[in-house]
Structure formats: C-alpha cells, structure tokens
Amino acid sequence: MYVAVTGGAGFLGSHLCEALLGRGDRVLCLDNLSTGRLENLEVFFRSPRFEFREIDIADPAAMNVDRWAPDQVDVVVHLASPASPPDYQMMPLQTLAVGSRGTENALRLAARDGARFVLASTSEVYGDPAVHPQRETYWGNVNPIGPRSVYDEAKRFAEALTMAYHRSSGLDIGILRIFNTYGPRMRPQDGRVVSTFIAQALDGDPLTIYGDGTQTRSFCYVDDLVRGLVAMVDRTVTGPVNLGNPVEWTVTRLARAVLRLTGSRSAVEYRPLPIDDPTRRQPDIAVARSELGWEPAIGIDDGLRRTVEWFLSRRDESPRTDRP
Ligand code: NAD
Ligand code: UDP
C-alpha cells in the first residue's frame, strides 16, 4: 500500500511510519516540522519506500494536492496538528488552521484518489467530561472560548468535516479518538505530563504537579496505540473509535511511579491547575475491541520503564536542546 502520513515527523507519526515501512508499505511523510523533528525520521531515509516532503498542510497553496502528492495513494492518515497543550496554546491560529484547512486538504487528497482517510482525533473532543468513562456516544463538555478550545474545537470541526465528506461523497473514512499516549520520541520539553516528569526526575528538578494531583488520565504506550492506528488503516471501520489504555491514574500516582522508576530524589512542587484542565479521563474501549480487535497489551510500569530508558539513551547522545 502507498500511505500518506501528515504529521509523520512527530511522536505518533514517526512510530506509524516505522510500523508501515516495517511491513512493506510505501510511505509519503508530510510535515512542516513545527513540533516534529527530522531526527525522528533519520533511519527511514535509507528506505527506498520512504519519501518526505516538508509542507504546511494548512497552507492555502496545499489545496492543490497534485503539487505535494503526485502519485495515487491508497490511504491518508491525518495526524498533523500540535498536540501538547503548551504547543497548541503557543500556536493557536496554526492549530485551528491545521484542524480545519489542513484536514480539508488531506481529505481532498483522499477524495482525489478514492483513498481511505483516517483522522487522528482526540479524547479532548469530550472536554472536561460529565460522563465517565467516556464512550463514543458521549458528545462532550467543551468550553468553546477557553485556551484549550483552539485544539478541542479544531478536532471537533475536523470530525464534522470528515463525516461530511463521508456522507456527501461516500469517502471511506475512519475517526480515531486518541487518549493520552506516551513513549520514546516525545520531546523532553514538550510540556506533556509524562515527558515533563521523566525529564525533571532525571535532571533532579522538582516534579511540577498542576493542581492537587487528583485529576486523572489514562496513559497508553505508543506501541499499543500504533497497533490500533494500523488496524484502523487496514479496516473499513468508520467510527469514531476510542483508542487508549483504560487504566486510569491520578497525576500524583504518575509522579510517584516516575520517581520510583528513575530512582530520582526530586521533590514535588505544586503549581496552579491550568484553566479548563479536565478533571478525569478514561476511555471505554468496547468499540475498539469489537471493531478493531484491539486492546492495549503494555502496562504502564513497563511502558514508563521503556520510556525512561529511551530518555536516558538520548541524554547520552545529545545536550538538552529542544524546539519549539
Ligand atoms: P506531535 O506534535 O509530536 O506531532 C504532530 C506533527 O504534526 C509534528 O510533526 C508537526 O510538525 C506536524 N504538523 C503540525 N502542524 C502541521 C501542518 N500545518 N502541516 C504539516 N505538519 C504539521 O504530536 P503527536 O503526539 O504525535 O500527535 C499526533 C496526532 O495525534 C495529533 O493530531 C494529535 O492531535 C493526535 N493525538 C495525540 C495524542 C497523544 O497523546 N500523543 C492524543 C490524542 C490525539
Ligand atoms: N500536568 C502536571 N504537570 C505538568 C504537566 C501536566 O501536573 O508538568 C497535568 C495536567 O494539568 C493534566 C495532566 O497532567 O491534568 C495531563 O497533562 P498533559 O498536558 O500531558 O495532557 P492533557 O491535559 O492534554 O491530557
């Protein structure tokens, strides 16, 4: 298969490119390198089945899909978007643009080729959920004008646009609502909780807990998540389908686990809870189980251990620099 992956230089995207190349697919990776890194793609450049194009998928010029995807593709996986709260709040307009115009340009490519279109949506479409755990039938509780809205509403619009293409032109689409995922290739300074705690613990800096640490998240290891992404690429499931590890942890519990696994003596520091920070989040994955035959296999201790090892191996190689 020939698969176009927008956002392919990012955390999830690079793991997806790796999985697709590993099974023999041809991959067209499209990325503007705003939060992604070429370093994530280094090993793939050796493969004749891998192509990279640096483009902003939200650029009006990207409406002309023939310019950036001349060959016919079989599947488009649309992952391009800042994903960490500090990233998307630093790039509010770009986040709205990639969720709207960027999604439309990616859909245009799929429509040109009659390809399957897979959208990486998010648990954030549920906002600060009033229903727990979250099933796909829940419509969410999102503040449309808060600081997180640039991301949440962009993803909700992206889902609506994807469904509109599906309904109006019969495009084969699949919508995934991805819950918090962690693992190797996260940027140590990306501001997400797992990467932040690991980097702080390894540096001997205080772990910064926002609020009182009782808020919950359900953390999925990247290899599990990518297996689910690949299953969605291969099937004709429309969804939406939640993808995440239903084991729910408080942020305090995560901090303790990171301290234990790193052997760090870092202190813990409390900071104000960001505005509209969801108080709890846990996926109901019954649909993923039945429609995709998917469930996570890697426990959080194991996943965190692998992630810590990767962070340690990278520190040996390079000094502490990061973007954006
Ligand atoms: P990431 O920031 O590591 O990757 C996003 C990639 O998109 C980067 O490589 C970035 O350079 C690229 N990008 C951003 N805007 C672009 C544009 N206009 N044109 C081209 N490329 C652009 O984030 P990630 O964690 O890998 O997330 C990937 C996708 O999965 C995102 O759509 C995100 O919303 C979704 N998601 C991720 C998680 C998670 O926990 N990692 C959870 C829910 C949803
Ligand atoms: N968080 C924290 N300390 C940090 C970064 C995040 O306590 O240094 C909290 C954050 O307030 C949220 C949870 O950890 O309650 C998950 O945050 P993250 O940014 O990883 O993901 P999201 O909020 O998008 O689920």
Q: Is residue 46 part of a domain?
A: yes
Residue with tokens 């900071």: 271
DSSP 220-282: EEHHHHHHHHHHHHHS---S-EEES---EEEHHHHHHHHHHHHT----EEEEPPPTT--S---
Q: Are residues 52 and 37 in the same domain?
A: yes
What's the rounded mean pLDDT across residues 10-39?
Answer: 98
CATH number of the domain that residue 18 is part of:
3.40.50.720
pTM: 0.97
Which ligand 2 atom minimizes the distance to the CA of 180? 25
Domain that holds residue 200: 193-217+246-277+298-316
Question: 36-89 pLDDT, tens per residue?
Answer: 999 999 999 999 999 999 999 999 999 999 999 999 999 999 999 999 999 999
Q: In the structure, what pLDDT confidence band is assigned to residue 235 with cuts at 50, 70 and 90?
A: very high
Q: Is residue 30 part of a domain?
A: yes
Q: Which ligand is nearest to the CA of 221?
A: 1
C-alpha 316 – ligand 2 centre gap (Å)? 27
Q: Is residue 122 pLDDT above 60, yes or no?
A: yes
Q: Are residues 38 and 123 in the same domain?
A: yes
Q: Is residue 125 pLDDT above 70, yes or no?
A: yes
Burial (Cβ within 10 Å: 0-12, 13-18, ≥19) of residue 94:
buried
Contact 96, 27 (CB under 8 A): no
The Cβ of residue 267 has, within 10 Å, a number of other Cβ atoms equal to 11
Q: Which of 192, 208, 250 has most ligand 2 atoms within 8 Å of its beta carbon, as the pocket-test mutant? A: 192
Closest CA to ligand 1's atom 44: 122
Question: 133-149 pLDDT, tens per residue?
Answer: 999 999 999 999 999 99
Q: Are residues 169 and 65 in the same domain?
A: yes
Q: Which residue has the higher pLDDT, 277 or 314?
A: 277
* Beta bridge partners of residue 50, listed in sequence order: 27
Q: Is residue 324 pLDDT above 70, yes or no?
A: no
Active site residue 2: no
Q: Are residues 31 and 161 in the same domain?
A: yes
Which ligand 2 atom minimizes the distance to the CA of 209? 7
Q: CA-CA distance, 207 to 54, in Å (whole number)? A: 35
Question: 183-212 pLDDT, tens per residue?
Answer: 999 999 999 999 999 999 999 999 999 999
